[in-house]
Structure 1
Amino acid sequence: MTTLSPPIEQKRRRTIVGTGVGNALEWFDWNIYAIFATFFAAQFFSGENPISALLATLAVFAVGFVARPFGGFLFGWISDRRGRRAAMTLSVGLAAGGSFAIGLSPTYEAIGVGASLILLLARLVQGLAHGGELPSAQTYLSEVAPREKRGLWSSLIYVSGTMGVIVGTGMAAVLTAVLNDQQMTAWGWRIPFILGGFFGLYALVMRRRLDETEAFQQEVGNRPATRLEPMWRTIVRHRKSALLVIGMTVGVTIVYYAWAISAPQYAISTRGIDPTSALWAGVLANLVFIATLPVWGAISDRIGRRPVLLICVLGLAVTAFPLNALIGDSAVRLGIAMAVALILIAGPAAIVPAVYAELFPTRIRTVGVGVPYSIAVATFGGTAPYLQTWLGETFGPSWFNGYVIVMLLISAVAIAAAPETKGRDLTSMH
């Protein structure tokens, strides 16, 4: 068995920590919004109708996703022209600023619609940052990973990101247990946003210490002395890969946001489950998710990306109705249903960073992934919590489940049409 030299071990450790910590903290900043929505909705909108305020808050959650395609293009351009490290560092800085703005904002009662505007602008900034963070981090990690273990390494994106979600969910569970409803609504919800801002600044420092990838450095060395082709024209030439990214993403992003992020909030507001119990159910289910991610990543390195994606996407379509029926009004059943769903979601979540990177050449790898991926997530993932609440209140939960199944089948078709990319040499894809 060979061992790595200390410099290589140190470099890989720095890569994993710098990428993972930064990704976790940005996901924490992004997702505590959905986790704490029921507590601060009335602080940014009129509190006369709680359901209306919650829907308005979730609408801003969806609006934040509108900025993600622009972030995917902006940070994708920075990543593909100036370097992966520069894009990753700037993205966590913007995310930190958005968290500070929300955590320190005056309330609707104090400044009226100004509070709603601050919330909207802060979410747009965070949407811009998060739209650039995921493709930049995914590209960086895929390029530094050993080719034969790229699926396993790519699972770090959702492992670290979910840790950020768990910290946010666990923080909500602790705060709801320690503080009463009045304290949570008045000021308790501010704590995670302010902490998220400070954590983001720490992640910024970590990102600045990362080394640039070999694939990007080779690409820079091979660039022609003449002016580079415009980025948009290069994307158009690779439009089939971009459409595959959208198709593979639509179903998975809906079930991810429905189960991993908003399921506890939905159970609290609609099913009447105790807030603390629902939040802890979410924490435990996400721990199962984290444990499953590297397993699927390693499996994809052995049997291929496409079989793993098809097994999990079709499995989610088959279990959509049974898992929702299982929840009822029980926190225990909520946790079981979330865990089963997240085991299946873990398959695509673990390996799509590798799959997407393997579809594009180095010169547009980040922006080629970032733009179509952000469009899909903004259109379908960002609206999932709102549609889940609105369709459930208006027509009943079965309508949302039907919508989920249709989108998952679309993803299955896209996966079947995509090439098998396991083991591709990313440094030779120019």
Structure 2
Amino acid sequence: MTTSINPKTATASGTPKLWRTLLGTGIGNAVEWYDWAVYATFTPFLAGALFNPADKTSAVLSTLAIFAVGFIARPFGGFLFGWIGDRIGRKSSMTLAVGLASVGSLLIAVAPTYGSVGAFASLTLLVARLLQGLAHGGELPSSQTYLSEMAPKEKRGLWATLIYTSGTCGILFGTLLGAVMTLMLSKADMQAWGWRVPFAVGAAMGLYALYMRSRLHESEVFIDEDANAKRAPIWPQIVRYRKQAGQVIGLTVGLTVVYYIWGVVAPSHAATDLGMDRGSALWASVIGNLVFIAVLPFWGRLSDRIGRKKVLLTSAIGGAVLHFPMTWLLKDQPWQLAVSMSVMLIFIAGSAAIVPAVYAELFPTSIRTVGVGVPYSICVAVFGGTAPYLQSWLGSIHLAQMFNFYAVALLLISAVFVFTIPETMGKDLNESVSV
């Protein structure tokens, strides 16, 4: 079998409906990333509306803490939706995940303010973030597994770039929305009601993604998997493939922290901690994210030609070498943010482009979704979810450099883990996996 395109997706003329596969996978992934990006972007307004505004620093830190708490639900989501993906189907897992994420966004959009109901407003935000965390813990492993199984094996690296391309489009849309709203609305209007708009938009986009995914077909790789293997108990398989689970964590740990630093919270950090104009910071981050999207296909194609491991090493080591210089460059000018984000995201893109393919190639079909979802979600929860809070907290006690050493150390750990994985370029996903 030379391709994993399901023949059921073909038209009468035999041409596969690739647009439906790509759009259905990409839009749900974009909604997930949009949700997390707008939370980071609108953190100051959430803090003012849903927490006690008397202590602004405490309110912001509490809002960032809930950002981190939302990640706690991710491993549970990784297991739940991973189990659904490996037992019932990738399509079912993807569809349910995006529907639950939409509910979380809607809850934030209609949440009562602290001034009207007190601490119940903060509780509403916490519940909404936990629902989103549960959904998002299942979204990425489900969608990247589905996409990898649908892709031709000789182009799987290129196809895998859709995950971060669509995700970054979601971030970019959220960032642009924030920039436009900052220009059009006064700070008072933003604090009064404007912060609700992006979450209402996220809920609506989630409903559309739900519709698109309901029209997808299941991957042929999953359909062809032996029925007995799919009914095998999950936990024994997780234990059996613990080495691969550890490799997922090791490969992810550096990427998740530096991506959240430079790709998600950099504009909010520049505005809140460095004194940069918030609107200018958002526009600078648009430039950085456009650069990121542009280079993702380059890395994907390169991995299909020279191998996954060389690209992963270049990404991790390049990011580690440049992190401090780009941090020193970033002060209070928008051009500094645009340049530092762009440079770092070029190297971050090397790993981001292809890890969906690498993860899928490490596991057999019967445990591919949950095998990726659980360790990935644990890693993102422990390291990615705490990154914004840790960065702000260390900065507030004048230990910002400690956080930079921490980020570089994690990148070097990821570089070491690259040497532990086999080269999987062009692998047939129906092949057995050694343990």
How far did 1:429 drift? 3.7
Conserved? CA contact 1:392–1:399, under 8 Å:
no
2:112 corresponds to which letter in structure 1? P
Match of 1:32 in 2: 38
How far did 1:377 drift? 0.3
1:46-94: per-residue Cα shift (whole Å, max 9, x none)? Answer: 1112121111000000000000000000000000000000000001100
How far did 1:179 drift? 0.7
Which of 217, 224, 230 is the aligned partner of 2:228?
Answer: 224
How far did 1:44 drift? 1.1
Match of 1:240 in 2: 243
Identity %: 58
How far did 1:12 drift? 1.3
Judging changes above 3 Å, is the alpha-carbon distance between structure 1 residues 7 and 262 closer, same or farther for their aligned structure 2 residues? Answer: farther
1:156 corresponds to which letter in structure 2? L
Which of 159, 163, 180 is the aligned partner of 2:165?
Answer: 159
Judging changes above 3 Å, is the alpha-carbon distance between structure 1 residues 117 and 160 closer, same or farther for their aligned structure 2 residues? Answer: same
Conserved? CA contact 1:214–1:427, under 8 Å:
no
Secondary structure of the 1:271 match is: coil
1:58 corresponds to which letter in structure 2? L
How far did 1:106 drift? 0.3
Q: Is it true that 1:212 corresponds to 2:218 in the alignment?
A: yes
Distance in 2, Cα, partners of 1:349 & 1:291: 13
Secondary structure of the 1:417 match is: coil
Which of 329, 332, 335 is the aligned partner of 2:335?
Answer: 332
1:309-349: per-residue Cα shift (whole Å, max 9, x none)? Answer: 00110111111110011011111111100000100111100
Match of 1:312 in 2: 315
Match of 2:358 in 1: 355
Judging changes above 3 Å, is the alpha-carbon distance between structure 1 residues 177 and 384 closer, same or farther for their aligned structure 2 residues? Answer: same
Judging changes above 3 Å, is the alpha-carbon distance between structure 1 residues 184 and 379 closer, same or farther for their aligned structure 2 residues? Answer: same
Conserved? CA contact 1:361–1:426, under 8 Å:
yes
Distance in 1, Cα, partners of 2:378 & 2:251: 12
Which of 147, 152, 157 is the aligned partner of 1:146?
Answer: 152
Match of 1:321 in 2: 324
Conserved? CA contact 2:165–2:296, under 8 Å:
yes
- Taking the TM superposition and a 5 Å limit, the aligned residue runs for 1:248-397 are 248-397=251-400
Distance in 2, Cα, partners of 1:13 & 1:146: 15
Q: Is it true that 1:108 corresponds to 2:114 in the alignment?
A: yes
Conserved? CA contact 1:72–1:370, under 8 Å:
yes
Secondary structure of the 1:421 match is: coil
Conserved? CA contact 2:11–2:17, under 8 Å:
no
Structure 1 unaligned blocks of 5 or more: none
Q: Is it true that 1:401 corresponds to 2:409 in the alignment?
A: no
Distance in 2, Cα, partners of 1:205 & 1:30: 21
Judging changes above 3 Å, is the alpha-carbon distance between structure 1 residues 381 and 124 closer, same or farther for their aligned structure 2 residues? Answer: same
Give the RMSD, CA atoms, in angstroms: 1.3
- Taking the TM superposition and a 5 Å limit, the aligned residue runs for 1:48-87 are 48-87=54-93
1:270-306: per-residue Cα shift (whole Å, max 9, x none)? Answer: 1000000000111111011001111100000000000
TM-score normalised according to structure 1 size: 0.97
Q: Is it true that 1:420 corresponds to 2:423 in the alignment?
A: yes
Structure 2 unaligned blocks of 5 or more: 1-9
1:235-259: per-residue Cα shift (whole Å, max 9, x none)? Answer: 1000000000000100110000011
Which of 17, 23, 26 is the aligned partner of 1:11?
Answer: 17
Which of 114, 133, 144 is the aligned partner of 2:139?
Answer: 133
How far did 1:39 drift? 1.8
Query: Which runs of at least 4 in structure 1 moved beyond 3 Å after TM superposition?
Result: 4-10
2:214 corresponds to which letter in structure 1? R
Secondary structure of the 1:385 match is: helix
1:394-425: per-residue Cα shift (whole Å, max 9, x none)? Answer: 13321111000111111111111111111110
Q: How many residues align?
A: 424
1:187 corresponds to which letter in structure 2? W
Conserved? CA contact 2:87–2:231, under 8 Å:
no
How far did 1:229 drift? 2.7
Match of 2:49 in 1: 43
TM-score normalised according to structure 2 size: 0.95
Secondary structure of the 1:315 match is: helix
How far did 1:10 drift? 4.4
Conserved? CA contact 1:321–1:398, under 8 Å:
no
1:177-218: per-residue Cα shift (whole Å, max 9, x none)? Answer: 111111111111100100110110010000000010011001
Secondary structure of the 2:422 match is: coil
How far did 1:31 drift? 2.1
How far did 1:8 drift? 4.9
1:28-52: per-residue Cα shift (whole Å, max 9, x none)? Answer: 1232111111222121111112121
Match of 2:7 in 1: none
1:6-29: per-residue Cα shift (whole Å, max 9, x none)? Answer: 755442111011111121122212
How far did 1:393 drift? 1.4
2:328 corresponds to which letter in structure 1? A
Distance in 2, Cα, partners of 1:23 & 1:158: 8
